[in-house]
Amino acid sequence: MFAFIIRRLLQSVLVMLTVALIAFALFRFVGDPINNLVGQDTTLQDRQKLRETLGLNDSVVVQYWRYVVNTAKGDFGYSYMHRRPVKTMLLERMPATLELSIISILLALFIGVPMGVYTSLRRDGFLAKIFMSISLIGISLPTFLIGIMLILLFGVILRWLPTFGRGEVVALGTWTTGLLTVSGLKALIMPAITLALFQMTLIMRLVRSEMLEVLRTDYIKFARARGLSNRAVNFGHALKNTLVPVITITGLQLGSVIAFAIITESVFQWPGMGRMFIEAVADVDIPVMAAYLCLIALFFVVINLIVDLLYYAVDPRLRVDGGGSGGHG
Amino acid sequence: MAVEAAAMAERGGEVPDLSLWRRTIDLLQRARDSDIWYSFKRSPITIVAAAVTAVIILSALFASWVAPHNPFDLATIDLMNASIPPAWMADGDTRFLLGTDDQGRGILSTIIFGARISLGVGFASVVFALIVGVGLGLISGYVGGTVDAVIMRIADIQLSFPAILLALLVDGVARGLLPRETHDELAIYVLVFSIGISGWVQYARTVRGSTLVEKNKEYVQAARVIGRPAILIILRHVLPNVMGPVMVIATIHLALAIITEATLSFLGVGVSPTEPSLGTLINVGQDYLFSGEWWIALFPGAVLAILVLAVNLLGDWLRDALNPKLR
């Protein structure tokens, strides 16, 4: 167990170092950092001095190490466009993105799982066929198109919901939340649905195929033979065994939901990190791009790590060979 | 067959290459009797999907002839025609079936020309990802050892990031490295590169898997024994035998590549605005939703959705048709 955790941790650190290397290379070699920080009229001497104080004359390895240390401390430097520390910008924007992502994934889970169970139990039912067709459309429609269609219907034609922004937000310390005001909740509805739809179809299809698999197994037949009610068999036995992979995949998807929030945020002008990243890409604001990359990588690595460790705790089969191959789940 | 060839010869005035002609006929006959054609005929949804895809691809290919107007020919654009609703609505104009945008360009024509860019970038990115992925997969599987470990590790790391994020990042870097004018000129190539590079992993993994199996088969060993160089064995013997699943991945990847291109262009970091793709058109149209000109965004969006759905259906069918377990 101990060896497994250590190996898995080392692997995660290696991934983070690789990502930091990419971020560092971006920062150091795409455009000249000095030109991006100072104005046109700065003298050559001043530039040299700044170069020295920023340590840009040291060897690349030293610079990389300094970058890693700073990044680990959360210091991502200054944005070229806004002349503000990237860290404060990220912290300002993070609550909006996290609220949107978490609400979306919960929405996807609480609608997707029942739909999946239903389609697996009533495979040839009319409603099940409708669900399956909807899921095919959900996979084929690009996220931004769903957002635009929602805006057209509920924002422009029906005028029920606001089409941009977060509504009124309440500050709780450094965290701003839109979940406590009516306008905040109203503003959340359309972005959350847009972001959730793809995950929802994914979860629904996953639950359906897992359920179909489980319903064929011997222990389900045995449970039926024992005369248990349909309800007990379907939900007590079958669904319970389906949920392990479903929760794993949903957990792993949280990372990509945060990344896909880029699109939703820019459709609904949601003031989150994703929109900040898009603006950074358009403006070639390298420090912001690099910071976002590191942050997303951190989310992914941590989520992956937790899922792997949970798997190890839940599934005894992984423990037999001393945990050697557990990390590639 | 001989009669047909003779007739051809009379019409064309010269004798066609008989062996090539015969080979084509043979191939067509084989295709007609094949399992794939049989399963194609029996699936009405697939036939519809194929027809829809074919119509969109053909009209994109022959855009200059099919489109009622050339939206990029300044001489034919008249600002007086701006923002006309679709032809069946009260203020519609029969010259512009799906209405016009803010600059007086017919929506139908911009869609046809936009589909050309979308499909072009989609196909090119798939080909690029396919070449990189299949190449690395073959090397990884055939050579093994450290090379294999390094390539697969990179693939693992890349796979844990969403493709769209990677494509955005590559695009951002290209913007930083290239001067602005050069970037606008090269925007399409940058886009193909960024979408392609974010999609190679799946090809590499699949090909590596099949290469590991094929490598130990007798025909490869025989080729090795008679001393053929490794590169020739890989290209002439292994490659043809690992291409089956690759075609399925490529079809599904095409749908994804079209979506990714549209998304990037929608976000404003894709193709340059002078050559709008479907995504760019939707992006432009989004601003006019609020003033009631819904057709500018909605029709390109519908075409995009239909195209992606059709390609996805084709991919699903191909996967089932090529899967021996399902026969």
pLDDT at B5 over 60: no
Interface test with A, best of B183, B266, B293 (most A CBs within 10 A): B266
Using one digit for the tens of pLDDT, what is the confidence trace for A111-136? Answer: 999 999 899 888 888 888 888 888 87
Token look-up 């025609």 returns: B81
SS3 state at A159: coil
Asked if A145 and B301 come within 8 Å (Cβ–Cβ), the reply is yes
Using one digit for the tens of pLDDT, what is the confidence trace for A253-284? Answer: 887 788 788 899 988 989 989 889 888 888 88
A22 and A293 in contact (C-beta within 8 Å)?
yes
A93 and A155 together in one domain? yes
Q: Which of A13, A37, A72 is the last residue of a domain?
A: A72
What pLDDT score does A328 carry? 38
Q: Does the residue A84 lie in any domain? A: no
Asked if A142 and B164 come within 8 Å (Cβ–Cβ), the reply is no
Q: Which among A18, A149, A282 has the least Cβ separation from residue B269?
A: A282
Q: Which among A140, A281, A282 has the least Cβ separation from residue B309?
A: A140
pLDDT level of residue B257 (50, 70, 90 thresholds): very high
Q: Does the residue A81 lie in any domain? A: no
Taking the Cβ of residue A72 and every Cβ of chain B, the question of whether any pair is shorter than 8 Å is answered with no
What is the rounded distance in angstroms from the CA atom of residue B221 to the CA atom of residue B223? Answer: 5
Q: Total domain count for chain A?
A: 2
**CA distances (Å), origin A173, targets A2, A259, A275:** 38, 26, 23
A259 and A188 together in one domain? yes
A156 and A273 together in one domain? yes
A61 and A209 together in one domain? no
Average pLDDT, integer, range A228-239: 83
- Token pair, residue B252, equals 């599904």
B59 and B109 in contact (C-beta within 8 Å)?
no
Q: Does the residue A117 lie in any domain? A: yes
pLDDT at B210 over 70: yes
Using one digit for the tens of pLDDT, what is the confidence trace for A1-54? Answer: 678 788 888 888 888 888 888 888 887 777 677 776 676 677 778 878 777 777
What is the rounded distance in angstroms from the CA atom of residue B284 to the CA atom of residue A152? Answer: 14
Asked if B298 and A152 come within 8 Å (Cβ–Cβ), the reply is yes
| Nearest residue to A289 via CA among A297, A277, A298, A274 | A277
Using one digit for the tens of pLDDT, what is the confidence trace for B46-56? Answer: 899 999 999 99
Taking the Cβ of residue A25 and every Cβ of chain B, the question of whether any pair is shorter than 8 Å is answered with no
Q: Domain segments of chain B: what residues?
A: 38-326
Around Cβ B316, how many Cβ atoms within 10 Å? 18
What is the rounded distance in angstroms from the CA atom of residue B76 to the CA atom of residue B104? Answer: 9
pLDDT level of residue A241 (50, 70, 90 thresholds): confident
pLDDT at B1 over 60: no
What is the rounded distance in angstroms from the CA atom of residue B72 to the CA atom of residue B59? Answer: 17
What pLDDT score does A327 carry? 38
Please name the residues in contact with B124: beta carbons below 8 A apart, sequence gap of 6 or more.
Answer: B192, B196
Q: Does the residue A77 lie in any domain? A: no
Nearest CA in chain B to A33: B176
A265 and A134 together in one domain? yes
A150 and A232 together in one domain? yes
pLDDT at B32 over 80: no
pLDDT level of residue A324 (50, 70, 90 thresholds): very low
Please name the residues in contact with A70: beta carbons below 8 A apart, sequence gap of 6 or more.
Answer: A76, A77
Which of A293-302, B87-96, B109-118, B255-264 is least confident?
A: B87-96
Average pLDDT, integer, range B76-82: 70
pLDDT at B134 over 90: yes
Q: Which among B161, B172, B262 has the least Cβ separation from residue A289?
A: B172
Around Cβ B276, how many Cβ atoms within 10 Å? 26
A150 and A238 together in one domain? yes
What is the rounded distance in angstroms from the CA atom of residue A144 to the CA atom of residue B289? Answer: 14
A116 and A50 together in one domain? no
A135 and A163 together in one domain? yes
DSSP letters of A244-303? HHHHHHHHHHHHHHHHHHHHHHHHTT--SHHHHHHHHHHHT-HHHHHHHHHHHHHHHHHH
CATH number of the structural domain spanning residue A127: 1.10.3720.10
Would residue A171 be called left, alpha or beta, if left means φ above 0 and alpha means ψ between -120 and 50 degrees?
Answer: beta
Q: How many CB pairs under 8 A join A and B?
A: 105
A104 and A257 in contact (C-beta within 8 Å)?
yes
Range of the domain at A209: 89-328
Asked if B168 and A30 come within 8 Å (Cβ–Cβ), the reply is no
Using one digit for the tens of pLDDT, what is the confidence trace for B269-306? Answer: 877 777 788 888 888 888 888 777 788 888 889 999 99
Minimal C-alpha gap between B38 and chain A (Å): 24
A129 and A23 together in one domain? no
Record: fold of B38-326 = MetI-like fold (1.10.3720)
Which backbone phi and psi does B72 adopt, to 5 degrees? -105, 0
A254 and A317 together in one domain? yes
Which of A105-114, B93-102, B264-273 is least confident?
A: B93-102
Asked if B176 and A286 come within 8 Å (Cβ–Cβ), the reply is yes
Mean of per-residue pLDDT scores for chain A: 82
Please name the residues in contact with A43: beta carbons below 8 A apart, sequence gap of 6 or more.
Answer: none
Q: Does the residue A150 lie in any domain? A: yes
